[in-house]
Amino acid sequence: MVAVLFAVTFNVHARSWRINNNANRKAHFSDINDAMRSNEVQDGDTLYLDPGCNLTTQQDVTKQVTIIGTGYFLPNENYLATISGTINLKASGIRLSGVCMTYRTCLYAPNIVLERCRTSWIRGFTNSQYAIIRECYNLFISGYGKTSQESANWTIENCFIYASHGNSHTIYDLYKATLINNYIVSISSNYCFNNLSSCVLSNNIIMNTSNANRLFNACSEMQCNNNVMSCAETAATDMPNNLFLNSTQEQTLFTLDGTNDQRYELKEDSPAKGAANDGGDCGPSGGEFPYVCSGFPFGIPQIKSNHDAWSALPTDVFPSGHTITLNGAVVTFGSPDDTANSWTWHTNNQGLIPTQVPSADGTLATIIKTFSSEAPFDPLPTHGCFFKIEPTTIGTFTIGGIVAVGGNQPVVFASALKDAPTTITAVNLQPYNSAVKSWSYNVDANHVYYFFELAYPNYLTGYRFTVQSLSFAERTVSNSPKDGQVTITQQVTLQNK
């Protein structure tokens, strides 16, 4: 099941690992702790949290790795990857992107980066200097003390720090922190800031929705400029270069249209517009790193609705010619003229498996065992297992599945002009690799495309490809790879366990 695509350029020297506590998904590791215990996982590696996994126990990250999740506030929560136990970050230079963490996130090392993550409580301990918290959705953030070098020099930018219950101050115990373009909120008698010193605050929106004046407590030597604050000006006489609303009403600033983080788009007449020190907007949508709703990790196309992705279910039974309509493409399973082939659920593979392999007429004599990657190209299959992809816009198409175990058959992706859909113009031939679990291709509306795995000699109904998911993500033309170029995605395994 793939809801969100993780596109990374194929690099034989890179090491990427999948994490999933669902044994049926056959990931490299069941959780992060398992990966940290492995000698194969080294500093600089990347761990991908599979869609749908939920790590409920404490996770200790002891190597300098990057951990990439699926984002948060997703249209379909079945695609959400979650860490619901405490996560302890214990190595310098750890980076988390798009990770949803619903309990404590504890920092025990310097130079840690959290970007586009959802967190409950970020807490700094000894030796946690120079953390970067960017484009995140948080409840509380705390360091190790008002004058402590142990958690000094944090940068917090373009975040929502929204203390949605009254158990704590929103941000506290920080020293020499820089806070830029955030929305910082308390909804109770607790303060937005407590026990801070020598911090810089610029271009933030700072609001207490219970008591407009309860923003700062026990804070000293603060540099506050070009912030929009809920308090009255008389409550902040030592902070003259700011905008004071004297209001607890969020609707003064935001549209409040939508759910979760979508609600906080600035109104056209919002006083936060143009109030930043560079003439831009205050709050998470301004500045150098504008907040991205739902925390989609960097470089990953964004799924916009449930219909951008399809996942196989145990109840699915598809005849040949069945179509799946995604937002941006129509995918046809085989040919409607093929009455001998169908797709049914395979429990061990957790996907749909066809009756027959690709062929020209549904017989063993015409199974397609080879295919040329250069002109003149071989004829396309008309029977058995193949997929026809007809995009309606430019985007990235991904198919997730399992190649036939032990078959050693390559995977074919062929393109043809839309006006001549059976005349091949290009072929991308991928060697057999049982570790690869999904394939992504850049496509456009001027072409049609065909995906299939070659047949194993002498087998019409054996060594068949299992399809688990289909997805499509729109993309822009600029800086896009050439159409038909393969992109190895989140499910790709670059190294076996």
pLDDT for 497 equals 27
Query: Rounded to two decimals, what is the model's pTM?
Result: 0.62
pLDDT for 9 equals 38
Contact 225, 232 (CB under 8 A): no
pLDDT for 261 equals 87
What are the per-10-residue average pLDDT scores of the chain (497 residues)?
38 72 86 96 92 94 95 80 96 96 97 96 96 95 95 97 81 97 91 95 94 91 94 74 90 85 90 95 95 78 54 79 88 91 88 95 95 93 96 92 87 94 93 91 94 95 94 64 38 29
Q: How far is CA 147 from CA 126, 143, 219, in A?
A: 13, 10, 11
pLDDT for 196 equals 96
pLDDT for 299 equals 54
pLDDT for 78 equals 73
| CATH T-level topology, domain 306-488 | Jelly Rolls (2.60.120)
pLDDT for 260 equals 81
pLDDT for 366 equals 96
Q: What is the DSSP letter of 8?
A: B
Name, in order, each residue with C-beta under 8 angstroms of 429's C-beta and a sequence gap of 6 or more: 371, 373, 410, 411, 412, 413
The residue count of the chain comes to 497
DSSP string, 184-226: EEE-SSS-SEEEEES-EEES-EEEESS-TT--EES-BS-EEES
Sheet holding 104-107, edge to edge: 59-61, 87-89, 104-107, 121-124, 140-142, 171-175, 193-197, 216-217
Count CB neighbours of 109 within 10 A.
22
pLDDT for 270 equals 95
